[in-house]
Amino acid sequence: MDFTEDDDLRTVRRAVAELAAGFDGEYWERHDREHAFPWEFYKTFADAGWLGISISEEYGGGGLGVAAAGIMLETLAASGGAMNACTPMHLGMFGMNVVAKHGSEQMRRETLSRVATGELHACFGVTEPDAGTDTSRISTRADRDGDGYVVNGRKVWISKAGESEVIVLAVRTAPRRDDAPMHGISILLVDMATPGIEVRPIPKMGRNAVASNEVSFDDVRVPASALVGTEHEGFRVLLDGLNPERILIAHEALGIGRASVDAAVRYAGERTVFGRPIGQNQGIAFPLAEATARLDAAELVCRKAAWLYDNGHPCAREANTAKYLAADAGFFAADRAMQTFGGMGYAEEYGIPRYFREARLMKIAPVSQELVLAYIAQNVLGLPKSY
């Protein structure tokens, strides 16, 4: 495996960086503060054709895969946009990847080209208040009714639901069985304009340019044609959303870490205390060097995970490990950046609090650090299940 960047990936990084440079820290601070969706930014990247980077060329996309999408999102995060820049785009990438891999031909033709142009916004609906990351315990139901389904239930932390035309929705079409807990889950592509759907934003700590929402479904009628993949076997379908999600989020964590280190290094070179730049002190320099080393190490696992997925190999171990290491490295970098700035690191002026808040989120979502370790312990090391 060669994880060095080829010409295509270098072109992606360079072009995305040039376009992102038009949106400075003040832009992102303002949109975060005002809870305003970054429409100008989104339209700029849509018009330039970047939203379909991982969609097949057959459907109007770039056909470059998860590795290129990861580079793109890492570069956006590192530009200073952090998660506020990435979330408007990544949901269409990993959420609609489920449709690209398992949807009917009609479903792909009706949706993917519109995702690629930025016309169609999509959200990803899995998490529930009483299930959390135990997907086998979801209780949102889709009951058969004639030639379709009737959906009832509630999802939480659904990013971009208010802007989205469709939701990739995980539901139960059969009761949970202890001997096969994932059986009975199905995936539906649901029109968000369907009567019975209600969206309510959740007040939260950070990444406020993109709302996270509670979405409720009250006798929502969905046609049978909305089924993605095979009924009752939706968890296998869902993996083509979950593994890319972990890989892409990991790249975003890398980008936030890089932005944090860059800001801290600039400040350490400019800020003078006791007659010398603070960056001359090992107490400042060494933590930033360590942050860089951690980011470099995490980057290699991110690249490996993306390569494995794009080449059709199993990648759950690597996707989870990449998310774990990159989230840890990204937050360490943001924390050390805040320490480098000292009191000014607590001021919104320099953007460090925003990096800190968003990097901290990466240790919780889309899967907690603890559950990653539980997965590795059980599925890689063969230890008894701990939960």
Catalytic (active-site) positions: 245
Residue with tokens 């590192």: 78
* φ, ψ of residue 113 in degrees (nearest 5): -65, -30
How many CA atoms does the CB half-sphere of 149 hold within 13 Å? 25
Cα–Cα distance, 371 to 387 (Å, whole number): 10
Nearest one of 246, 250, 234, 248 to 98, comparing CA atoms: 234
Tell me the longest C-alpha to C-alpha distance in the chain.
79
Indicate the SS3 state at residue 151: strand
**CB distance 167 to 125 below 8 Å:** yes
Return the structure tokens found at 272: 């003078």
Distance of CA 225 to the CA centre of its chain: 27
DSSP 332-375: HHHHHHHHHHGGGGGSGGGSHHHHHHHHHHTTTSSS-HHHHHHH
Nearest one of 34, 31, 56 to 42, comparing CA atoms: 31
Cα–Cα distance, 16 to 294 (Å, whole number): 24
Query: Which residue spans within the chain are E strands per DSSP?
Result: 122-125, 141-145, 148-159, 166-172, 185-191, 197-201, 212-223, 227-228, 272-273, 276-277
Return the structure tokens found at 102: 């398992």
Indicate the SS3 state at residue 41: helix
Q: How many CB atoms lie within 10 A of CB 265?
A: 19
Return the structure tokens found at 351: 């953007």
Return the structure tokens found at 262: 């860059």
β-strands 122-125, 166-172: how paired?
parallel
β-strands 197-201, 212-223: how paired?
antiparallel
